[in-house]
């Protein structure tokens, strides 16, 4: 994991001091609400329904046990004993007081954390593959490049007042586990014929009101040219992106209106004419960034008794099947600690759980964890021989719900319960659906299936890319929900299609049950995934079933 040096600390401390001054001027009435807005947003501070919300940056999802304990301390001292993992791997505090924010930032800075650029029209936290460094299909570890981008984009003077927010994702594996095509810029590490490391560059993806998949604008960008090329993309966007309409301000709209060829050409021209040695990354720099992500000291272990343990304990076996994934090193596994306990809001994690996770990380996974886009926590380096003990201990704190990847591993925004932007609540809808799918055997029979619930068109839960997506809409002051089917993430990213007219809140659980029944009745075999069946069967079959009964 990256370790801060003096410069990193100075950057964060300077920003905390600057923000403290801005906050003081705001509270004294010397800084207007309007002027304070972009300044506080750039520091992760929203004004929410009940209290301000502070979003803490978790760079590409990496957290140390020490950082987890500090977050726990902050939740206990300044919030209501819990926090929320977002769909972009960050952490949200939903109940902080405005006057406490500077003190919270000081505590974060003490463990090399901050809230810089977690909101506002600027370059946001760079996200990545939650299995970075441990996936068997990885070409190159993306994290050193994420860290370089993190630093380059942090307080970049040219790109703090963009037309709209800007999100970058980087992967280093064949399989896309970070939905790069749904980002403003998606980068995939690759090698060219000469063995040089570089990136495939996608631009113009995003969800919201106009969901779009990104387009490939450069099939091979040498790694040394990364920052110069990113700057060229951002500059073309900052100069030509629309500012007259918030809903047409993302880079996807610019790429779409210019056309991919013309946009690429403008980027290329901008890049070529400002090409400079100062912008080039040297091998020395890249190696230095890599040095922070070298492999931990793996020790080979004999795990013969794992099968035996699984046979003897069906519950453990279920958890092993759903929440444990292979690791590139024999004898190790990747473990998902589920934050989808029945009856709780997806992604919420309590102070006690945070401390427990820190303990587990220290005991079993080199004192590091990752937050995931799926709103869970991953322990990336667990010895097979430790799995049983880990499971027992995770279970004590409700962190072992064996449902990772199933229908009830729901991704859900805070929704109308907390968020000012929301048109409808999302958490109660999730609870209703969860309660209908408590039979684990039935859930497992459905296989991998994604459900995502957004409380408004800002689509924080990314409902468009869910197999079953639910979107809260406002109909004359009533909470209604639109259902989309057939969305997918990763290598086959696809935007789901609206099933039909939106439904009232009390009908949405029934609708999901009817959709699942239709799938079960018509799938060709247990191996035919939901989206495959949906594409084969067509929308109408599902639509008729859902609307016949409501």
Partner 1 sequence: MQPSEQPLLIINGRISDDVWQLIQADATESFKPESGQSYLLPLPQWLASAPDFSGFAGFPGVWINGDDPVEPLTDVVALAPVIAIGFSNFMDGSGFSIASALKETYGFQGDIRAFGSFLPDQAPYLRRCGFSSLAFSNAADAELAYSLLQSAKSATEQSYQGSVDQPRTPFARRLGR
In order of 89, 237, 514, the CA distances from 243 in angstroms are 28, 11, 43
Nearer to partner 1 (CB atom), residue 113 or residue 446: 113
Residue 292 sits in the site that holds partner 1 (CB under 8 A): no
Residue 282 sits in the site that holds partner 1 (CB under 8 A): yes
**Up-side HSE of residue 292: CA atoms within 13 Å toward CB?**
17
Residue 47 sits in the site that holds partner 1 (CB under 8 A): no
Judged by CB under 8 A, which stretch of 52-60, 170-178, 271-279, 422-430 contacts partner 1?
271-279
Segment 203-232, which members bind partner 1 (CB under 8 A)? Answer: 227
Residue 262 DSSP SS3: helix
Structure tokens at 71: 């977050």
Q: Which helix (H) or strand (E) holds 409?
A: none
Segment 236-255, which members bind partner 1 (CB under 8 A)? Answer: 238-239, 243
Residue 291 sits in the site that holds partner 1 (CB under 8 A): no
Q: Are 433 and 509 in contact (CB under 8 A)?
A: yes
Q: Which helix (H) or strand (E) holds 490?
A: none
Segment 516-535, which members bind partner 1 (CB under 8 A)? Answer: none
Here the contacts of 281-284 (C-beta below 8 Å, separation 24 or greater) are: 281/148, 281/223, 281/224, 281/225, 281/226, 281/227, 282/224, 283/224
Number of residues that bind partner 1 (CB under 8 A): 41
Q: Which residues pair with 369 in a beta bridge?
A: 63
CB 160 → partner 1: shortest distance, Å? 6
| Contacts with partner 1, 447-486, as mask; x by CB under 8 A | ----------------------------------------
Q: Tell me which of 158, 315, 517, 526 binds partner 1, using CB under 8 A.
A: 158
Judged by CB under 8 A, which stretch of 203-211, 233-241, 358-366, 459-467 contacts partner 1?
233-241
Residue 123 DSSP SS3: strand
CB 366 → partner 1: shortest distance, Å? 24
Residue 35 sits in the site that holds partner 1 (CB under 8 A): yes
Residue 288 sits in the site that holds partner 1 (CB under 8 A): yes
CA 456 to chain centroid: 17
Give CA–CA dist 4/414, Å, rounded.
Answer: 32
Strands 215-222 and 197-203: antiparallel
Nearer to partner 1 (CB atom), residue 11 or residue 520: 11
Q: Tell me which of 289, 382, 512, 533 binds partner 1, using CB under 8 A.
A: 289
Residue 51 sits in the site that holds partner 1 (CB under 8 A): no
Q: Are 458 and 421 in contact (CB under 8 A)?
A: yes
Q: Are 221 and 201 in contact (CB under 8 A)?
A: yes
Residue 121 sits in the site that holds partner 1 (CB under 8 A): yes
Nearer to partner 1 (CB atom), residue 272 or residue 524: 272
Q: Tell me which of 200, 280, 436, 522 binds partner 1, using CB under 8 A.
A: 280
Alpha helices in 365-459 (DSSP H): 387-396, 427-436, 440-446
In order of 48, 218, 473, 506, 511, the CA distances from 477 in angstroms are 19, 46, 9, 15, 22
Nearer to partner 1 (CB atom), residue 29 or residue 477: 29
| Contacts with partner 1, 159-178, as mask; x by CB under 8 A | xxxx----------------
Q: Which residues bind partner 1 (CB under 8 A)?
A: 5, 7, 10-11, 14, 18, 22, 31, 35, 38-39, 121, 148, 151-152, 154-162, 227, 235, 238-239, 243, 273-274, 276, 278-282, 284-285, 288-289
């Amino acid at each position: 994991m990256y370790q801060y040096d003096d410069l990193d600390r100075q950057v964060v401390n300077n920003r905390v001091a600057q923000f403290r001054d801005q906050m003081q001027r705001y509270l004294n009435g010397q800084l207007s609400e309007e002027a304070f807005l972009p300044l506080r947003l750039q520091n992760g501070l929203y004004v929410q329904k009940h209290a301000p919300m502070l979003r803490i940056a978790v760079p590409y999802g990496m957290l140390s046990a020490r950082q987890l304990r500090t977050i726990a301390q902050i939740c206990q001292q300044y919030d209501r004993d819990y926090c929320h993992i977002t769909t972009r791997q960050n952490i949200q505090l939903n109940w902080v007081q405005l006057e406490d924010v500077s003190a919270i930032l000081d505590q974060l800075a003490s463990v090399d954390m901050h809230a810089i650029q977690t909101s506002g029209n600027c370059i946001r936290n760079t996200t990545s593959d939650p299995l970075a460094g441990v996936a068997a299909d990885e070409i190159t570890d993306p994290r050193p490049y994420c860290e370089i981008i993190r630093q380059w984009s942090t307080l970049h003077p040219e790109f703090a007042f963009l037309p709209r927010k800007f999100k970058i994702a980087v992967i280093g594996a064949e399989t896309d586990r970070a939905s790069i095509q749904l980002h403003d810029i998606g980068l995939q590490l690759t090698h060219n014929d000469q063995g040089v490391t570089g990136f495939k560059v996608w631009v113009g993806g995003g969800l919201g009101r106009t969901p779009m998949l990104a387009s490939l604008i450069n099939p091979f960008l040498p790694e040394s040219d990364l920052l110069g090329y990113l700057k060229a993309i951002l500059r073309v966007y900052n100069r030509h992106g629309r500012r007259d309409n918030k809903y047409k301000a993302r880079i996807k709209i610019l790429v779409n209106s210019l056309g991919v060829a013309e946009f690429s050409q403008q980027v290329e021209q901008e890049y070529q004419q400002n090409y400079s040695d100062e912008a080039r990354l040297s091998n020395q720099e890249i190696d230095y960034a890599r040095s922070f992500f070298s492999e931990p000291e793996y020790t080979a272990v004999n795990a013969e008794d794992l099968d035996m343990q699984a046979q003897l304990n069906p519950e453990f076996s279920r958890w092993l099947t759903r929440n444990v994934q292979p690791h590139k090193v024999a004898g190790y596994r990747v473990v998902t600690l589920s934050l989808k306990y029945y009856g709780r809001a997806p992604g919420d994690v309590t102070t006690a759980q945070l401390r427990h996770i820190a303990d587990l990380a220290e005991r079993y996974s080199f004192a590091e964890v990752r937050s995931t886009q799926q709103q869970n926590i991953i322990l990336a380096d667990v010895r097979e021989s430790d799995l049983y003990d880990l499971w027992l201990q995770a279970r004590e704190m409700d962190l072992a719900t064996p449902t990772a990847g199933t229908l009830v591993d729901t991704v859900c925004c805070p929704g109308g319960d907390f968020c000012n932007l929301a048109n409808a609540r999302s958490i109660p809808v999730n609870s209703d659906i969860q309660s209908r799918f408590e039979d684990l055997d039935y859930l497992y029979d459905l296989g991998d299936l994604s459900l995502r619930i957004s409380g408004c068109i800002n689509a924080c839960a990314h409902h468009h890319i869910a197999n079953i997506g639910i979107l809260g809409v406002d109909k004359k002051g009533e909470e209604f929900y639109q259902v989309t089917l057939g969305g997918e993430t990763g290598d086959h990213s696809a935007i789901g299609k609206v099933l039909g007219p939106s439904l009232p809140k009390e009908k949405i659980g029934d609708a999901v049950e009817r959709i699942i029944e239709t799938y079960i009745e018509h799938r060709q075999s247990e191996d035919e995934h939901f989206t495959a069946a949906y594409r084969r069967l067509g929308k109408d079959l599902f639509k008729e079933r859902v609307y016949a009964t409501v």
